[in-house]
Amino acid sequence: MKKERSLAGRWMQYGALALIVQLAVACSDKTAAPAPVGDDRPVANAAVAATPAADERLIVAFGDSLYAGYNLDQDKGLAPVLEAALKARGVKARVVNAGVSGDTTAAGLARLAFTLDGLPRKPDLMLVGLGGNDMLRGLPPAETRTNLDAILAELKKRGIPILLTGMLASPNMGPDYAAAFNPIFADMARKYDATLYPFMLDGVIGDPVLQLPDGIHPNDKGVGVIVSKLAPVVAGALPS
């Protein structure tokens, strides 16, 4: 019961923060496209398509600010920390950062082919983490589902194994929105035989020690917590 109350409190904090973000967007210049949380496109990390060594797996982290390492030092983001964690587990891998802060599923779909075609070879695994900005913008879940479907269909067509990291709707979005949004990731994972990591911010959301001052993005300690949970899932998802 104590654990349930603690989790509920964290979700309420998350919901309040998401509401603040949406209000800030709503009050912005109406002539400009609203900027999602963590939108730092001018300095966003592009996919560094360094050629992996012959004995290294090629893993691409394709997502939004949670993948891009928003407001973190270059070596503190998801990709480099995950790469180090995999090597510590005996998995030789090059993890390419293809995260762009602020990306919605539509923006990810628009750059997918360009990203894949710029790689030195077909990835051994593609991590896909998009949808959070769709939710914060209040975009229709049907659009999120359609875009993710198209992204995963293209990866399946190219024969690239997929690990999908999910997101959950903030409580302030309401039960109807959550009922339409939350199942998307599990549904897509089943449809495309993808490995599912259900909630990207598991263990981090609501803990100020693990988050940046915005209360949403992980700091370097938060990335460490995420990777400690995610790395074994990634290792298990790599083809034999």
Catalytic one of 39, 64, 65, 101: 65
Cα gap 211→219, rounded to integer Å: 5
Catalytic one of 75, 176, 193, 214: 214
Catalytic one of 101, 124, 170, 217: 217
Cα gap 53→57, rounded to integer Å: 8
E-only strand ranges, the chain: 57-63, 93-99, 125-129, 162-165, 195-197
Active site residue 187: no
Under 8 Å between Cβ of 188 and 134: no
Active site residue 65: yes
* Nearest residue to 43 via CA among 77, 78, 68: 68
Active site residue 40: no
CA torsion, points 199, 205, 210, 212, in degrees to nearest 10? Answer: 110
Cα gap 213→71, rounded to integer Å: 11
| Six token digits for residue 73 | 């030092």
- Catalytic residue annotation: 65, 214, 217
